[in-house]
Amino acid sequence: MNRNPRGPDDRRRNPLGNLQRPGCSIWQVVFWIALILLVAPLLAGLFGTSGVTIDYSTFKDEVRAGNVERVTVTGQQIDGTLSEPRETSAPGQEAAITYTDFTTYIPAFGDEDLLPLLEEQNVVVQSQPDTGFPWGTLLITAIPTLLMLGLGYLFLRRMSSGGEGVLSMRKSGAELYNRRQEQTTFEDVAGAHGAKGELREVVEFLKNPQRFQRLGGEMPKGLLLVGPPGTGKTLLARAVAGEASVPFFHITGSNFMEMFVGVGASRVRDLFKAAKEASPSIIFIDELDSVGRRRGAGLGGGHDEREQTLNQLLSELDGFKPSTDVIVMAATNRPDILDPALLRPGRFDRRVTVDLPSLRDRVDILHIHARGKPLSDEVDLERVARGTPGFSGADLENLLNEAALLAARRDVDAIERQDIESARDKVLMGLERENVVMTEEETSTLAYHEAGHALLAAILPHADPIHKVTIVPRGRAMGVTQQMPRQERYIYPREYMLDRLSVMMGGRAAENLVFDTPTSGAADDLKQATQMARTMVLQWGMSEQFGFISLGGDQQEVFLGEQIAQRREYSEQTAREADQEIKMILQEAYNNALNLLRENRKQLDDLADALQEFEEIPGERVAEIIGVQAKAIDPL
């Protein structure tokens, strides 16, 4: 499946754009804080008290001694002047302070004897009204408070304007498809003919509803795209957005989830409200399984926030007030874990399967992705498509991109066949491990191991043709025998599976035949062979003992609770018999491989010697060394 590259007009919103508007910079904030710290002491001195503050008892003793000349009373505060200066020690200072002006305060319980005492000593008493408000204290405390409030306001405003703040938490976050910035159509999608037909009908329904309504047809409410990762489900949705002439809202399922309960359901309501106001319209929810999983699954029950979100989604799709003129499209690669209520007719009426591309589809996909990439004349895209069975559209795109990077690294003008081969090996097996140094014994063992695989693949009638054999370490593999399918297979006969098992056992059989000892190099071969034999016995009915019984093997449960509570439908005795049957199939495959290698020992030695000399041999050369005719490949 092709992914249409974005053009130069594809502009994404800058996530830092909300921080680049005019406003207070960090240096301005620092300046104001420093200014407050400098001015605060001045304000304290300006609005504070004058003179020295003395105790009230000391003040009365001075009055009785006739040393007080005049006083000014302002509320509870008394400011006065002494006739003779006095000395006092300030806290934290050793030297005494001489003062004449002083300040003291009348106790809260009052003093009725003070005024008669002042009149008796002929002290001049002046009274001033109390203002009742401490302006100095207010300025000292209010300015920092206002500053902090201002900074908090700026922070909240910028957070909310960026779409991630508390004020915008309940918004859906869905984006409206902009046809001016990017235009993807069905012509940009290779393969998936059935899926494109279903989606074209939806687009036609939106453009010309009378054509279907005259026969009583109704607009489908939901359409679910199902398929493995990378097969082009999102690309098909973009093609619908480009073809349809109605508003197209797109969002991922994880955008509904939030740590606060009720936020997801609110976002669902907000999304459908916007879609209804713009109806007829389309909503596309990618990765639906993140919000649409079965409710109440697992050991500890369900996730409250996710289940509330799912309940709201179910209600909006087909509830008491169902959405009209709004089509909901969704995509997932895990339909087995979706809630049954989500899949019933009336909600998702159609399920469109987007499977891995066939051989013809892979050729078309490669042609699309090869646009703008100069290919040399020796590059055969049909051969590349044959050598990539099981590749998705995304894998094919990545394959050609890696080939282009490798060609650019070699500083050539066109992508050559070796670039695509190297990119294929890199995608399938990983990078070449150049720092691996093996002894002659290890190299010989590895060469015979891969020669055993290659020899059996060449002489067994139902085995796939050999693409190439290599003993160059890549990724976790020390060597690989690559086979190219003779034709596209959808049904596997028992004879094909048995020959495939014999090819897998060829490496271990060669080790025992030549060196008379097994090695750890067959670990992955044994794992894959055991899994294949188990599937043949438990699921495909390819066992003589069990015949047509399916024991439901290899069922992978999604939730731990379901796996624990699952009841096995066969007894322990049947399980032991199944294990014996699997062992017997693997033993037959190994014996067949060992006998064939023993009969063709000279060809095995010649192929192992060639691998030690050249490290990598193409499939045609393998056939020449063994002395057999290379297997023909069915034409397209």
The CATH number for 195's domain is 3.40.50.300
- Does residue 13 fall inside a structural domain? no
Q: Do 345 and 373 reside in the same domain of the chain?
A: no
Q: Do 113 and 243 reside in the same domain of the chain?
A: no
pLDDT 10s digits, 555-566 = 554 444 454 445
For the chain, what's the residue count?
A: 636
Q: Do 295 and 181 reside in the same domain of the chain?
A: yes
- The C-alpha atoms of residue 153 and residue 168 are separated, in whole angstroms, by 15
Query: Residue with structure tokens 């040393």?
Result: 67
- Does residue 6 fall inside a structural domain? no
Of 69-78, 112-121, 177-186, 238-247, which range is least confident?
Answer: 177-186
Q: Do 452 and 421 reside in the same domain of the chain?
A: no
- CATH (domain of 585): 1.20.58.760
- Does residue 15 fall inside a structural domain? no
- CATH (domain of 62): 3.30.720.210
Q: Do 379 and 348 reside in the same domain of the chain?
A: no
Best mean pLDDT range from 33-42, 128-137, 518-527:
518-527
Q: Are 528 and 580 in contact (CB under 8 A)?
A: no
Parallel, antiparallel, or unpaired for β 175-176 and 248-252? Answer: antiparallel
Comparing C-alpha atoms, which of 208, 123, 175 is closest to residue 10? 175
Comparing C-alpha atoms, which of 355, 282, 264, 381 is closest to residue 323? 282
- Does residue 525 fall inside a structural domain? yes
Q: Do 90 and 77 reside in the same domain of the chain?
A: yes
- Grade residue 235 by pLDDT with cuts at 50, 70 and 90: confident
In Å, how far are 201, 394, 622 from 196, measured between CA atoms?
Answer: 9, 18, 43
- Cα 612 to the center of its chain, rounded Å: 44
Best mean pLDDT range from 198-202, 218-222, 311-315, 403-407:
403-407
Query: Residue with structure tokens 């294929």?
Result: 424
- Cα 466 to the center of its chain, rounded Å: 38
- The C-alpha atoms of residue 152 and residue 364 are separated, in whole angstroms, by 57
Number of structural domains (the chain) is: 5
Instruction: Please tell me the pTM assigned to this model.
Output: 0.65
Q: What pLDDT does residue 596 have?
A: 94
Q: Do 281 and 212 reside in the same domain of the chain?
A: yes
Q: Do 344 and 377 reside in the same domain of the chain?
A: no
**Domain stops at, among 121, 145, 168:** 168
Comparing C-alpha atoms, which of 368, 358, 424 is closest to residue 390? 358
Q: What pLDDT does residue 564 have?
A: 47
Query: Residue with structure tokens 């995608």?
Result: 427
**Domain stops at, among 406, 429, 452:** 429
Other Cβ atoms within 10 Å of 560 Cβ, number: 12
Mean pLDDT, to the nearest integer, of 337-349?
Answer: 85
Q: What pLDDT does residue 560 have?
A: 45
Q: Which of 62, 305, 307, 450 is catalytic?
A: 450
Q: Are 485 and 458 in contact (CB under 8 A)?
A: no
Q: Do 27 and 104 reside in the same domain of the chain?
A: no
Q: Do 183 and 227 reside in the same domain of the chain?
A: yes
Question: Which residues have C-beta within 8 Å of that of residue 476, sequence separation ≥ 6?
Answer: 430
- Does residue 198 fall inside a structural domain? yes
SS3 track for 492-548: CCHHHHHHHHHHHHHHHHHHHHHHCCCCHHHHHHHHHHHHHHHHHHHCCCCECCCEC
- The C-alpha atoms of residue 397 and residue 41 are separated, in whole angstroms, by 69
- Does residue 199 fall inside a structural domain? yes
pLDDT 10s digits, 427-456 = 887 777 777 778 889 899 999 999 999 999
- CATH (domain of 398): 1.10.8.60
Q: Name the residue range of residue 37's domain.
A: 22-42+136-168
Mean pLDDT, to the nearest integer, of 586-594?
Answer: 95
Question: Quick one: which H or E segment has residue 344?
Answer: none
The phi-psi region of residue 541 (left if phi > 0; otherwise alpha if psi is between -120 and 50; otherwise beta) is: left
351 has a pLDDT exceeding 60: yes
- The C-alpha atoms of residue 503 and residue 532 are separated, in whole angstroms, by 13
- Does residue 4 fall inside a structural domain? no
**Domain stops at, among 316, 336, 353:** 353
Q: What pLDDT does residue 311 have?
A: 84
Let me know if 450 is a catalytic residue.
yes
Q: Do 117 and 69 reside in the same domain of the chain?
A: yes
Q: Do 327 and 370 reside in the same domain of the chain?
A: no
- Does residue 116 fall inside a structural domain? yes
